[in-house]
Amino acid sequence: MMARDFDVAELDTHLERLLDLTLSERELSLLEMERTEPDLAAVLRKVLRIAAGAHSMELRAVGESLRLVSEDAPPPQIQGYRLLEEIGRGGMAAVYSAVRDVHGIEQTVAIKVLRAALLSPLERERFLNEQRILARLQHPNIATLLDVGIVDERPYMVLEHIDGETIDQRLKAVFDDLPAILDAIEKVSDALSLAHQHFVIHRDIKPGNVLVDRQGRIKLIDFGIAKILDSAGGLGGDQTLTSNAPLTLRYASPEQLSGKPVGVASDIYQLGLLLYHLLTHAWPYDESDHEMPQERLRGEVLPVLASRRVTESRLKRALTGDIDSILLKCLRVAPAERYASVVEFREDLCRHREHRPVR
């Protein structure tokens, strides 16, 4: 029995921070936490083991082998590009805005650089895997890969620069505008459908990975933990990229939490969570219990209907019925009970908008 309870929101805040660290940094943070909040540290270690799909994993054993050069090291100089400022940073890479100058023609781009030359082979391979995946995907709603290279032993990729904000920030002002929200989700669905046609599973669909630019265009970003399926629909290639992939607890599918094989259905689950959040600004589960991930896995906690999470009467009426049903189907614990494809999900949204029966 823990000394105190931790709700999902609190755990998710800590996990987001920990997953943005390298393994060695993460272990140092957990060791410090064990001195001040041992119960919280114990819960976080347990969830991290579940997320990694390796219950016997000990972070202490690998920390020493993953030393990095100083995080304060300046960004590399990349020929043909002038770096302007850092615009993002995670456990694996830093992102900079930059200007590409070709014969006097300037273009603003984003450059994602592996954070240091001495990262673990796993993180390096994951970064290169993202390059390979983005090279497959050409779609107006997916951030475009423009160039790749290696400088000072650090791989980098050049991407289109997206001047905008996250989808939840952009749509917050129109939270009760159901058509606008469904329009946006359909664009995300189109991007995912293209990815799935190329056997790519995103695995990290959340508000922070869907941007809206100043022209209102939707852009799905960050394929850093995406995975390529084999032609039979199973995970192909190096399975270590799956078992050790970081994830966001709140948006993780049940199969991700349990370390089971992940496929198209996992993206559909996360897409449903994204739509639910945009419609309600709420979470579909009770947040009072720190054991929530395990209860979700066992199917003991059912999602609260989206229509019950909103108070505005017009929106409540609009969500009751079809939208509630669509969301519940996305959020089924068993992958086989969800939509078989993003196309089926999108078709049901279209049926609803055309006042036809949904599946």
The mean pLDDT of the chain is 82
- Active site residues per annotation: 204
Question: The tokens 């599918």 sit on which residue?
Answer: 253
DSSP string, 126-191: HHHHHHHHHHH---TTBPPEEEEEEETTEEEEEEE---EEEHHHHHGGGTT-HHHHHHHHHHHHHH
CA–CA separation, 202 and 193 (whole Å) = 11
φ, ψ for residue 213 (rounded to 5)?
Answer: -80, 180
φ, ψ for residue 330 (rounded to 5)?
Answer: -65, -35
Residue 344 half-sphere exposure, CB side, CA atoms within 13 Å? 13
Percent of residues, the chain, with pLDDT higher than 90: 50
Q: 189 or 172: whose pLDDT is higher?
A: 189
CA dihedral of 113, 116, 120, 124, whole degrees rounded to 10? 20
- Contacts of range 218-222, beta carbons closer than 8 Å, 24 or more positions apart: 218/141, 218/167, 218/184, 218/187, 218/188, 218/191, 219/141, 219/142, 219/143, 219/162, 219/164, 220/141, 220/142, 220/143, 220/188, 220/191, 220/192, 220/195, 221/142, 221/143, 221/162
CA-nearest of 340, 312, 306 to 325 is 306
- Which two three-digit tokens encode residue 312? 């505005």
CA–CA separation, 129 and 237 (whole Å) = 10
What's the pLDDT tens digit per position in 179-235?
Answer: 999 999 999 999 999 999 999 999 999 999 999 999 999 999 999 889 998 655 555
What's the pLDDT tens digit per position in 240-287?
Answer: 344 445 567 778 898 887 778 899 999 999 999 999 999 999 889 876
Q: Which alpha helices (H) appear in 37-88, and where do they start and end?
A: 38-52, 59-63
pLDDT attached to residue 10: 75
CA–CA separation, 238 and 247 (whole Å) = 18
What's the pLDDT tens digit per position in 34-83?
Answer: 888 888 888 888 777 655 543 333 333 333 333 343 444 678 899 999 99
- Which two three-digit tokens encode residue 102? 């070709």
Whether 218 contacts 167, CB under 8 Å? yes
φ, ψ for residue 165 (rounded to 5)?
Answer: -145, 170
Q: How far is CA 124 from CA 18, 119, 128, in A?
A: 19, 6, 6
What's the pLDDT tens digit per position in 95-112?
Answer: 999 999 888 889 999 999
Q: Is the pLDDT assigned to residue 166 strictly greater than 80?
A: yes
CA–CA separation, 80 and 100 (whole Å) = 6
Contact residues for 135 (Cβ-Cβ < 8 A; gap 6+): 145, 148
**pTM of model > 0.85:** no
SS3 content of the chain, % helix, strand, coil (to 5): 45, 15, 35
**Domains located in the chain, CATH noted:** 8-66 (no CATH), 81-160 (3.30.200.20), 164-353 (1.10.510.10)
CA–CA separation, 263 and 254 (whole Å) = 12
Residues in the chain: 359
Confidence category of residue 3, pLDDT binned at 50, 70, 90: very low
Q: How far is CA 104 from CA 40, 71, 83, 160, 353, in A?
A: 55, 33, 16, 19, 48
